[in-house]
Chains A and B, each alone.
Chain A
C-alpha cells in the first residue's frame, strides 16, 4: 500500500519567515494530495490541495508543489504569522476500483515565534 512520510516533525520559525514542509509518497498511482491544518483541539481543515496534473498551486501565502517523478510534494508558507501555528498534515489519495483511500503523513507541528 501507499506510504507517506512527512518531515520535519517539528518546525519553529520567526514571524515573517517562510516555512517549508515536505512529504514523500510511494505509490505512483496516487494523484491527489491535500494538506490539512489542525489547530489545538480542533478538526483538521483543508488548506490547499493539488492534483497530479498540476506542478504548483498558490493561495495567498500558501503554495504547494508536486514532483511526480520524485514522488514528493511540499507545502510552503510565506510571511508566517502566529496564527499559522498548528499541526500540518499531508495526505495522498489512492484510487481503488472499490473506492478511494487517503494516507496521511504523521504531521508537522509548526510554531511561529512572534
Chain B
C-alpha cells in the first residue's frame, strides 16, 4: 500500500496570510491526526478526524482548523499566520476507529516557513 502523503512539501508564506495543507491517509485508514513539530516543543497534537468529524483537539488557537472528506483525505488550515507558526506539520493515519492500540503512520510532513 502507498504510505501517507502530504502536499505541498514546502511552503513559504508571509505573516497574516492563510495556508491550507493536505493529507491523504493510507488506503483503508479512516483516522487522521495532525501534529506540529518544532525543535523546542517536539510533536504537538493539533486534532484528530474520523468519519469527517473532529474527535479530539489539542491546545491550539482557533486559527488552526481542519476537515476531513468522505474519502478520508484531510486538510488543515491556518489563518492569519504568525512567525511562530513556522514548523513541520505532520499528519498520521491509523486504521481502526477508537481503539487505543491503533498504530499511527506518519506522512513526510509539510515544512511551513512564515516570513
Contact of B31 (CB < 8 Å), options: A46, A89, A99: A99
A37–chain B nearest beta-carbon distance, Å:
11
Residue of A30, A89, A96, A100 touching B43 (CB-CB under 8 A): A89
Partner of B100, one of A43, A45, A94, A107: A94
How many A-B Cβ pairs are below 8 Å? 73
B4: A residues at CB distance < 8 A = 43
| A107 and B42 contact, CB distance less than 8 A | yes
The number of chain A residues touching the other chain, given as a range, is 20 to 34
A95 touches B90 (CB 8 A): no
**CB proximity to A under 8 Å, residues B87-115:** 90, 92, 94, 97-109
> Which B residues lie at the A interface, using CB under 8 A?
4, 31, 33, 35, 41-43, 45, 48, 50, 55-56, 90, 92, 94, 97-109
A residues in contact (CB < 8 Å) with B? 30-32, 34, 36, 42-46, 49, 51, 89, 93-107
